[in-house]
Chains A and B, each alone.
Chain A
């Protein structure tokens, strides 16, 4: 069931009414039934995968907690089964194709079949969420949930099952089961946030998608740097409006039920570096990889040994060997970052283009780590410049330009097309390209820029004052003004938005 459809609106309205009408102790059971219904709506067959993930992670977590299985083997077992399921349904075709290629390269004929299995929607998200929970139990950060159905609700909670945010058990689970009473203010905040998410999706993401989708299958028709800069910038805006709009709807619906989800976005296009970008974009995915891949890798025997070996004999006079310290502190981080960004790329999809996308971002982060002493020197030498608004703006524009270039790899999901885009982009400037993109967007597109400006203006307010200032302001304005804004917003979305058939999908569903 997709958020921007009438059936979801009706479904959620019913859930909202029944949820608050029920006594507190019965609510979580009702949420579980609603979540399973929501997930089965796409295909009842998907419930098998949800059931296996829920069952395996439940048994492993309880087994570890009761010491029936060892912490190490329990963690490994949960990872192998859940990630294994992901590999089979998401990566098998890719894996077989690469094995065939590799065997061919060494002169052995191999013909593993091109198996294309249907990827259950949301699998990458709830597998990661429940695996993270098992690892937290293994690390003794949280106790295992002994009630199977309560565990099942944590895995399948409907606002986040299809596209995240990837929940943290310690923060999410207590909210699912605690006693709470209806809070009018939180419900209103939730509705406002849902409306804002709908606005981003139907007034920005869908309209841009409608205009630029034809471009991706006719890359050769669009020559020139200006033309491709416009397309990639528009795609950057579309993707952000699409993904963050979805998150606004998910977080808003959940807030209406008195449950706060982790935030997945924090003004990402205001980031000052690529590392900063990933602390603001798809935050819960980055946090997952940090906690469960990056940290364990850096603490692994191999990288710990490497750090010690590079540092040499322990000595009190550390200042005497700064270059050695730098190498010992930097090299393991660089190696771990390479692995992490390879995997983050691969998480997005079974294609080398996604790996290239991950490594593209990873490369900038690695360069920043390696050159940190140079940056520090620059910052010390020019403190006034570095503290200026001009420098901050330069950093934001630079980061946005890099992220936007990355979409030339991400969007086509095919390295040959990326190569063609780059060839077109850096071909001789052709006025025809500019005309072509103007024609593609056509005149009526101009009003979308007002909605884009509004979206970034709201982000700019949140960037400078991060505590929900706009909703607090809206609460203070006189009732007639507030309702004029609501009605105008609804009227705009109904009459000027693009929705319905052909616009149900969100960009991140395919992951």
Chain B
């Protein structure tokens, strides 16, 4: 799976969770996406896991800094 495909599917997950279109880049953080706070973080992570059929360890759930790291992790886990 390449990064472009991950980004396309991820954009759809973000729209699903936050109910709005979001432009994602490697540098996008929670502060850039309205509604992405600690209350919604796990819902987002769970929906990403469903979409890509992966399971993030808790270390990554609490430690990922931006969308770039999320994409790296998805590619790593689905390899």
Interface residues of A (CB under 8 A from B): 139-141, 275, 290-291, 294-296, 298-299, 304, 307-308, 314, 316, 318-319, 322, 325-326, 329, 332-333, 337, 365, 369, 372-373, 376
Once the chains bind, are B57 and A329 in contact (CB under 8 Å)? no
CA distance A373 to B62 in the complex (A): 26
Once the chains bind, are A298 and B42 in contact (CB under 8 Å)? yes
Q: A299-B46, A333-B43 are in contact. Are A139 and B59 (CB under 8 A)?
A: yes
Q: Is B29 an interface residue (CB 8 A)?
A: no
Q: A308-B50, A333-B39 are in contact. Are A139 and B16 (CB under 8 A)?
A: no
Chain B residues with CB under 8 Å of A365's CB are 39
Q: Is B25 an interface residue (CB 8 A)?
A: no
CA distance A140 to B42 in the complex (A): 19
Once the chains bind, are B39 and A295 in contact (CB under 8 Å)? no
State the main secondary structure of chain A at its contact with B. helix
Chain B residues with CB under 8 Å of A307's CB are 43, 46
- Taking CB as reference atom, which chain A residue is nearest B63? A141
Q: Is B28 an interface residue (CB 8 A)?
A: no
Q: Tell me the smallest distance from the CB of A85 to a CB of chain B, in Å.
A: 25
Once the chains bind, are A372 and B35 in contact (CB under 8 Å)? yes
Chain A residues with CB under 8 Å of B58's CB are 139, 295-296, 299
Once the chains bind, are A332 and B43 in contact (CB under 8 Å)? yes
Interface residues of B (CB under 8 A from A): 12, 15-17, 19, 34-35, 37-43, 45-47, 50, 57-59, 61-63
Once the chains bind, are B62 and A295 in contact (CB under 8 Å)? yes
Chain A residues with CB under 8 Å of B50's CB are 308, 314
Q: Tell me the smallest distance from the CB of A3 to a CB of chain B, in Å.
A: 31
Interface centre among A139, A291, A326 (most CB of B within 10 A): A139
- Taking CB as reference atom, which chain B residue is nearest A297? B42
22 pairs, CB–CB < 8 Å, chain A vs chain B: A139-B57, A139-B59, A139-B62, A140-B57, A290-B38, A291-B62, A295-B42, A295-B61, A295-B62, A298-B43, A299-B46, A299-B61, A304-B46, A308-B50, A314-B50, A318-B15, A318-B16, A329-B40, A329-B43, A337-B39, A373-B19, A376-B35
State the main secondary structure of chain B at its contact with A. helix
- Taking CB as reference atom, which chain B residue is nearest A366? B39
Q: Tell me the smallest distance from the CB of A381 to a CB of chain B, in Å.
A: 15
Chain A residues with CB under 8 Å of B38's CB are 290, 294
Chain B residues with CB under 8 Å of A322's CB are 19
Q: Tell me the smallest distance from the CB of A289 to a CB of chain B, in Å.
A: 10
CA distance A333 to B38 in the complex (A): 10
Contact among B40, B47, B57 with A333 in the assembled complex (CB-CB below 8 Å):
B40
Q: A307-B46, A329-B43 are in contact. Are A140 and B59 (CB under 8 A)?
A: yes
CA distance A50 to B35 in the complex (A): 41
- Taking CB as reference atom, which chain B residue is nearest A321? B16
CA distance A139 to B35 in the complex (A): 27
Q: Tell me the smallest distance from the CB of B44 to a CB of chain A, in Å.
A: 9
CA distance A307 to B17 in the complex (A): 12
* 8 further contact pairs, Cβ within 8 A, besides A307-B46, A332-B43: A139-B59, A141-B63, A294-B42, A308-B50, A314-B50, A319-B15, A333-B39, A365-B39
Q: Tell me the smallest distance from the CB of B61 to a CB of chain A, in Å.
A: 7
Chain A residues with CB under 8 Å of B17's CB are 329
CA distance A298 to B39 in the complex (A): 10
Q: Tell me the smallest distance from the CB of B19 to a CB of chain A, in Å.
A: 7
CA distance A135 to B50 in the complex (A): 25
CA distance A460 to B6 in the complex (A): 43
Chain B residues with CB under 8 Å of A332's CB are 43
- Taking CB as reference atom, which chain B residue is nearest A138? B58
The list of the 5 closest CB pairs from A to B, nearest first, reads: A298-B42, A139-B58, A318-B16, A329-B43, A139-B59
CA distance A291 to B45 in the complex (A): 14
CA distance A291 to B62 in the complex (A): 7
Chain B residues with CB under 8 Å of A304's CB are 46
Chain B residues with CB under 8 Å of A314's CB are 50
Q: A295-B42, A298-B42, A376-B19 are in contact. Are A141 and B35 (CB under 8 A)?
A: no
Q: Tell me the smallest distance from the CB of B71 to a CB of chain A, in Å.
A: 20
Q: Tell me the smallest distance from the CB of B22 to a CB of chain A, in Å.
A: 14
Chain A residues with CB under 8 Å of B19's CB are 322, 325-326, 373, 376
CA distance A141 to B64 in the complex (A): 12
Q: Tell me the smallest distance from the CB of A382 to a CB of chain B, in Å.
A: 16
- Taking CB as reference atom, which chain A residue is nearest B44? A329
- Taking CB as reference atom, which chain A residue is nearest B12? A318
Chain A residues with CB under 8 Å of B39's CB are 275, 333, 337, 365, 369
Chain A residues with CB under 8 Å of B62's CB are 139, 141, 291, 295
Chain B residues with CB under 8 Å of A291's CB are 62
- Taking CB as reference atom, which chain B residue is nearest A319? B15
Chain A residues with CB under 8 Å of B46's CB are 298-299, 304, 307
